[in-house]
Chains A and B, each alone.
Chain A
Amino acid sequence: MATIKELSKREDLLSGGHRLCAGCGASIAVRQVLLGANAPVVAGSATGCLEVSTTAFPFTAWKTPFIHNAFENAAATISGVEAAYQALKRKGKIDKDVKFVAFGGDGGTYDIGLQSLSGAMERGHDMVYVCYDNEAYMNTGIQRSGATPFGAATTTSPAGKVRAGKPQQRKDLTQVIAAHNIPYVAQASVSHWKDLIEKAEKAFAVEGPAFLNVLAPCPRGWRIKSDETIEIAKIAVQTGFWPLYEVEDGEWKLNFKPKELKPIVDFLKPQGRFAHLFKPGNEHLLEEYQEQVNKNWAQLKKRCGVE
């Protein structure tokens, strides 16, 4: 891992002046991941907040070659770029070592882009796929996705008289991708920058596909203040809501092991999207929430061989 001094000398490949909201987790995730590449890199992005806010023609915030194609195909698109690189390298038309990374929101990754991602991972392209997970379709106005957690109110899973936000649990995508048996899979958070950049370095270093799922809070959608992004991401890790772990060549490793998890309400309470869970009569939902987190945490510890 590069030292902070070394990192400070690396060029930021996503410049400021983009149009993401203040406090947006997405650009933090992207900049940290790109610091980990430390080599020429071609980046791509799915349609979503990141893409529309960084490429408004005739401007671009990308200082590295960048391609946006559509919503569900960032993985397939970058897999094509990587295939071109392999072919042109073989033909001697290019001699540099180049890295490839695709970014997608949770909608573009867990939902509409899952097939494209699964295919690219299975084919073994030498690329990194990064999901910046803000737990809803933010670009189109905070609609629920497969990554939206239980109980979160979104514009398509609002809290009402008979519904308490999203009725389903979120999909565990990191484990789904781990089941592809690719060289490197990890879950990270913008709050733990050292862990995230280390994981990005590993992801770029392995030969073959790597996947990073990065928690990237959205102040707009989570109903928090724009200076609370990092804090809430940290609490997500400390409560066991978003464990930090990695799967390296099939070896599961928990990267953050608190003696005791903070209660899940510490994560839920500060966020407006969960406000309805704290109304009288919904106590059982909070209990259910805690039980689910405990169960997931116990399962993950078992997989990682941690007691």
Chain B
Amino acid sequence: MKAPLSPERFESQAAEALNDTQLQDALQKATGLFAEKRGAAVDACEEWDSLREHARLIKEHTLLHLDEYLENFAAQAEASGVQVHWARDGEEACRVIEDIARNANATRLVKSKSMTTEEIHLNKALQVAEIDPVETDLGEWIIQLAGETPSHIIAPAIHKSKEQIADLFVEKLAIEPTTEVEELAATARKSLRRHFAEADLGVSGVNFAVAETGSILILENEGNARMTTTLPKIHIALMGVEKVIPRFADLAVFLRLLPRSGTGQKITTYQSILTGNPRPSDEEGPNQIHVVILDNGRTGMLAKAVTRQALNCIRCGACLNVCPVYQQVGGHAYGSVYPGPIGAVITPQLTGIEKTSRLPFASSLCGACRDACPVGIDIPELLLHLRAEIISRQSRLSARIAFRMWAWAMVKPWRYSLSTNLARAFPFLLPVGRWKVNRSFPGLAPNSFRKWWKDSS
């Protein structure tokens, strides 16, 4: 069995990904297409820049008043019959959800796509509690059947070819072999209908939670989230604290930004705006709605402006698609639930820097992510901030000595020329060993520029 993916092994996982030709094809095709569609949608939207700026301002404002808005949201939701739960960490959130299920004797659970449930490893916890979760988003369902983890925020099975998916369906569902994508999707429709019809409990994520009204919004294209939130008698929605926005009217900004950034659509096929428990006169819908508000490390990002901005993220996936590192290595190489540029900045903050210290270095700092981000997160700035923190903690003796020497050499011209002459005479002294693992080092010119200048003038 392969070792489980881990952020500590970014380099070796990346190397493996680079050698996987099938993965390379899949990644190139997918990220290219996503980026192209996003580009077209953004170009066609004249007001893009002002929308982005508005979104950033709304987020910044909300985060600075996060306690008030969360309390408003909870109060409004509770007033309309929703049960609101708070969870300090993932474990607590899992326990809350298990308890709701247990109290209702619910064992069959359907889920719509939610990265936050991935973050808290809800499926694993539920299985331990003998509750059987079934993913219903096509991509999520595929990776659940394959026993894998998502490799992209919005297209979880992006790393798989249709042939691999067909083989998986043949093996797990005993379908006739096919590579028609339509047929594969039809298989999902058919197989999952029963699960929807029989489920006691539906678990969803939340894209936006409106403080003013207590509403939650779920955006999707397939319709599985509508099923999940309508058919089972209990609906549980899990949201990070940062999902709250102040006013209902603010949705106009975010509903325009998220689909364009994510898939290049003007709007996703379905928006479910759910406000409170169904009325007695409503014949359909759950009779219990729970919202679980999750911290799990988020509040630790609030103190500094540079880290706080990561909480602006609306999980559109645009930064992944434009990132030259993600484009090459894919999502699994990061070994964390959230991959790509945004994963590299939030994973260390959510789960601690110790085991994730490689991630902020998995970037060329080209800035493509910052340019693509619909809520104005300066990801490179944040990467540098985290790098500095990691280096200052690790504080390797060799690095300290090297930088001391560097500082000594740089302040006086004679010291500088002494050290370059030394390096020229003894090139093996240059501390570039690791640099040369994946790159060639051109070496120093035989003569210095100063000497050349002197000689030629």
Do A and B pair up? The answer is: no
